[in-house]
Amino acid sequence: DVKVTQSSRYLVKRTGEKVFLECVQDMDHENMFWYRQDPGLGLRLIYFSYDVKMKEKGDIPEGYSVSREKKERFSLILESASTNQTSMYLCAARRMMNTEAFFGQGTRLTVV
Amino acid sequence: GIQVEQSPPDLILQEGANSTLRCNFSDSVNNLQWFHQNPWGQLINLFYIPSGTKQNGRLSATTVATERYSLLYISSSQTTDSGVYFCAGRNQAGTALIFGKGTTLSVSS
């Protein structure tokens, strides 16, 4: 199985800060994803990358950007953190379209 | 995109009981997966099951793609089975997995 590692398990940031969430996978998978999970709303897709430097907006991209300069790393950037971005963030990787996706351990971000 | 409906939303069981969780899709899906979210929030892969039946120990899953549903069976439940179970799928035109809202399972001893 692929190993997906997120840089932090817990993170506390201040309003207005620029925040970087890092995700690394070890199997040279093409597809990578960022989701956020909120009570009552479930998991929602923020961004999807289907290859290096390639990205697609998901359902809730506002306030976020992403970077994928190398295949193994997919970064989620909060340009100016706000309290409504307090959430659980989950990264996933998948070899290609019709294959199994694997998730990282998640990052609980609190913006104060 | 597709709609994913999971039932029941909550399930309370005594240890040793069996249960069936259901996932309905509004459109035909590929990449159907079942996950268990552990207490620390990580999604653990249970099954990748676009069609057919698979078994892994006390857990098994069946997907009937033509009827747009999947079932997860848990037999002889244990307290460690507690947590939230998600199904997710991708339709033909989509790229990422779309998740249901989950079934929260509580198993007591």
Name the residue ranges covered by the structural domains of chain B: 4-108
Q: Which CATH class is domain B4-108?
A: mainly beta
Chain A to chain B Cβ contacts (< 8 Å):
57
**pLDDT for the residue numbered A71:** 94
Mean pLDDT of A14-29: 95
Q: Which residue range(s) make up the domain with A13?
A: 4-111
| Cα separations in angstroms, A63 against A41, A48, A79 | 18, 15, 7
Whether the per-residue pLDDT at B93 is higher than 80: the answer is no
* Nearest Cβ partner for A42 among B43, B45, B102: B102
B7: distance to nearest CA of chain A, Å?
A: 14
Work out the minimum CA distance from B61 to partner chain A, whole angstroms: 15
In A, which residues are within 8 Å of B102 by CB distance? Answer: 42
Mean pLDDT of A39-57: 92
B97 chain-A contacts, CB cut-off 8 A: 33, 92, 101
Decide if pLDDT at B83 tops 80: yes
> Which among A56, A97, A108 is the nearest to B41, CB-wise?
A108
B65 vs A: CB within 8 A: no
pLDDT of A40 > 90? The answer is no
CA dihedral A90, A37, B81, A27 (to 10 degrees): -20
Q: How far apart are CA A108 and CA A102, in angstroms?
A: 18
Name the percent of chain B lying above pLDDT 90. 84
- Comparing alpha-carbon positions, the chain A residue that sits nearest to B31 is A98
Strands B4-7 and B19-25: what pairing? antiparallel
CATH number of the domain enclosing A80: 2.60.40.10
pLDDT tens readout for residues A88-112 = 999 999 998 888 999 999 999 999 9
